[in-house]
Structure 1
Amino acid sequence: MKYIFYVLAFLLYGCAEDYELNEGFSVPTDLSGPASIKIDLQSSENILLTWNGSADDGGILLYNVLFDAIDGDFSKPIYSAESDLGGSRQLTLTPVILNKIARASGLKTGETGKVKWTVEASRGGVVKRSQASAEIQVTRPDEEIPEQLYLQGTATENKGEAPIPFRKVSDGIFVIYTQLNDGNIYFTDAENNGVNYTVDASGKLTEGEEPYAVQKEENVVRFTLNFNTKSIKKEIISRVRMIWGANYEVITEMPYVGNGIFKHENVYVQCFDPNDPTIQMPPGISWFEERYYFIATIDGNDWCWGRGDGISAEQPTDNESLSFYELHEFAWSQWDHLWKISHSIHKKHCTVTIQTNENNMMIHSFSDIK
């Protein structure tokens, strides 16, 4: 048994000592790929790039593919990727990645232009770049819609210290409630290293790294960005209040406190109770009345922020979902889109809050009841 062990050890270690890495290899000279591509981000069909090249001893080489703008020299490539499995003489690109490369080259949505690519081969720490390169004419899609969106810039509430998220209303439509300082803003689709968007001279949304200037607003600003139409809408929210549906009496004003939140603490809530002689009942009301909604003044006009499911006003259950408290915007009609306030709040103080971006909804809540 020991004899077999010594023979195996001799074969393994003896061979290892005699082996010398052959660092000789040829770089790719023949690059092959599509000459023209119209990018379809919904397509599952990938793009294949291939090349030649080999090591002198027939061993494995590692390959890295470099991409650059058409006038670049690959010294600072706009994108790079290892070949498939690292040592395969091919690279598979998805339409999403190719679109990213085209964007990095300076192409805007809907534009057609060229990018170029080449290959680096390496072995044993020796790296050689091919002198050959190939071009791909790329057409970016007209409609490119982000999945998420953030507000950035020196004019934001936090002066650009962190991205502020928008609420996604539907595919391509995003809303944010915020305040602005003097400075600049832009929009981005990721918290870090995202695609940036700005507004061009015609007022349209466009990809771009250059922020645009804004002035300080004393009131709350609502931005609605629609990437389906490339449009941006700015509205001024000058007042928000919670009111009784029965007589329009203001229950509380809702001041803006930052971070997309309207909030008022220590609000006294007293419903209309016909059995309480100290309460003045609204004309024509002879029952316990607790229906309410919110009114927002937007660009000088009053709009109802109320219930959106079309169900008659009702009280919340003990374990009501957030969607019960979701706010929707309507033209003001006295007896539509109301809730009934919980009787547990009647004749008590509480904190009333409107959170404009909670679990991708705009909701209101009652807390600190005492």
Structure 2
Amino acid sequence: MFLTGCSEDYKLDESFTLPTELSGPEEVAIDLQSSENIVLTWNGGANDGGVLLYSVLFDKGDGNFSEPIYTSQSDFGATRQLTLTHVILNKIAREAGLKTAETGKVKWTVEASRGGVVRRSQECGEILITRPAEEIPEQLYLLGSATENQGTAPVPFRKESDGIFVIYTKLSSGNIYFTDALEDGVNYTVDSSGKLIEGDEAYNVEAEENVVRLTLNFNAKTISKDLISGVRMIWGATFDVIADMQYVGNGSFKKENVNIKFVDPNDPTTNPPSWLTWVEERYYFISTINGADVCWGRGDNVSAEQPGENEPATFYELHEFAWSQWDHLWKMSHSLNKKTCTVTIETNANNMMIHSFSDVK
């Protein structure tokens, strides 16, 4: 690869050698369905053979990395290599200002660090990138006569990750299509092979008795449908149902007048197991999807804990896992014990899927 010098001069730290040779492809034509990776490598290392941490910075072709458009740790953080997918490189190209079907340059370089000392290589690599002709939307809406509002207004999807959108809804007999803006958006539909394509012609669907989860993956140009036949909140210790959630429309499940009683070994009415020696307040949700039970639970791998007074919405965010009894639980606030309340799951609240408690009495 032809290397060009960056505009800033950086003093080398004596404890390690900065990369002086960067290697990677000179040109890439983005193929969002490709399984091949783009690999960037470089030289350098610690003088004593120890570990260095590396970050790779990307910028526009005329940038100087003062405000990089994308930064990533190297593979495993300490290897002299970064592996990129076509999806990620497409995202970088988009951040560089390249439109669909355009070709342009993206610049990259490497920072090395050790013991709090961070230095940037004086070398830069360039990649000439050609974006695909079809744009991956940044937002998405559902329209059509089969929607909950019969197509009178766009219904927003939740953006799960770059290029992947999810919506929980009810469908009647009719047609649906998708758009990426409330007004004058790019419309998408599904062709005869089931592939997502740009197009204005809606496609027909049948009515579904159950709640439908539609997942659109623009990276792979696929659409999938899951059927949600039940959602219930249960105690982790006993599996007893706290609330049998009902779908109320607009992507929300709700149950009013829920009677909350923690599982208490001294209170037989709470159905305590014989081995229980403490008051149990741990809970999660079980959703029946395509006939199988899965866990909708906490996603941060932290042991169950009670909420503080001002927890952010992310504390109550739901993630989907295989069901394991003692994983992904929350502890319920003591203020709810022996009270009634309304439990709500919103599948698209500020681009999150969260649950909440309200109307506590």
The TM-score bracket by the shorter chain reads 0.5 to 0.7
Partner of 1:281: 272
Distance 1:286 1:44 in 2: 61
Partner of 2:253: 262
Distance 1:143 1:284, change over 3 A: farther
The amino acid that maps onto 1:233 is S
Distance 1:356 1:39 in 2: 32
1:349 corresponds to 2:337: no
Distance 1:341 1:204, change over 3 A: same
Q: Choose which of 211, 221, 227 in structure 1 pairs with 2:212.
A: 221
1:260-293 deviation line (CA, Å, top 9, x unaligned)? 0000111101001234465431231110100000
| Superposed displacement of residue 97, structure 1 | 8.8
| Superposed displacement of residue 95, structure 1 | 5.4
Query: For residues 65-144 of structure 1, what are the structure 2 equivalents within 5 Å?
Result: 96=99, 141-142=132-133, 144=135
Q: Choose which of 116, 139, 143 in structure 2 pairs with 1:152.
A: 143
Partner of 1:317: 308
The amino acid that maps onto 1:358 is A
Distance 2:184 2:314 in 1: 33
1:235 corresponds to 2:229: no
Structure with the greater alpha carbon radius of gyration: 1
Partner of 2:185: 194
The amino acid that maps onto 1:222 is R
1:26-58 deviation line (CA, Å, top 9, x unaligned)? xxxxxxxxxxxx999x9978xxxxxxxxxxxxx
Secondary structure of residue in 1 paired with 2:335: helix
| CA contact 1:43–1:95 (8 Å) conserved in 2 | no
| Superposed displacement of residue 146, structure 1 | 0.6
1:246 corresponds to 2:237: yes
Identical residues among aligned pairs (%): 69
1:369 corresponds to 2:357: no
Distance 1:152 1:43 in 2: 37
**Aligned pairs, number:** 246
| Superposed displacement of residue 140, structure 1 | 7.1
| CA contact 2:100–2:132 (8 Å) conserved in 1 | no
Gaps of 5+ in 1: 1-37, 46-93, 100-138
Partner of 2:350: 359
Secondary structure of residue in 1 paired with 2:184: coil
Secondary structure of residue in 1 paired with 2:248: strand
The amino acid that maps onto 2:276 is I
Distance 1:146 1:279 in 2: 49
Partner of 1:209: 200
| Superposed displacement of residue 186, structure 1 | 0.3
1:60-116 deviation line (CA, Å, top 9, x unaligned)? xxxxxxxxxxxxxxxxxxxxxxxxxxxxxxxxxx854987xxxxxxxxxxxxxxxxx
Distance 2:99 2:162 in 1: 18
Q: Choose which of 278, 284, 299 in structure 2 pairs with 1:308.
A: 299
- TM-score (normalised: structure 2): 0.64
Q: Choose which of 306, 322, 327 in structure 2 pairs with 1:331.
A: 322
Distance 1:272 1:170 in 2: 38
| CA contact 2:188–2:200 (8 Å) conserved in 1 | yes
Gaps of 5+ in 2: 1-28, 32-57, 62-96, 103-129
| Superposed displacement of residue 252, structure 1 | 1.1
1:5-46 deviation line (CA, Å, top 9, x unaligned)? xxxxxxxxxxxxxxxxxxxxxxxxxxxxxxxxx999x9978x
- TM-score (normalised: structure 1): 0.63
Distance 1:274 1:299, change over 3 A: same
1:108-140 deviation line (CA, Å, top 9, x unaligned)? xxxxxxxxxxxxxxxxxxxxxxxxxxxxxxx97
Distance 1:168 1:269 in 2: 33
Distance 2:357 2:140 in 1: 29
User: Over aligned residue pairs, what C-alpha RMSD do you find?
Assistant: 2.4
Distance 1:202 1:97, change over 3 A: closer
| CA contact 1:39–1:95 (8 Å) conserved in 2 | no
1:126-166 deviation line (CA, Å, top 9, x unaligned)? xxxxxxxxxxxxx9715521100000001000000100000
Distance 2:239 2:30 in 1: 55
Q: Choose which of 154, 157, 164 in structure 2 pairs with 1:163.
A: 154
Distance 1:309 1:216 in 2: 36
| CA contact 2:247–2:254 (8 Å) conserved in 1 | yes
| CA contact 2:100–2:131 (8 Å) conserved in 1 | no
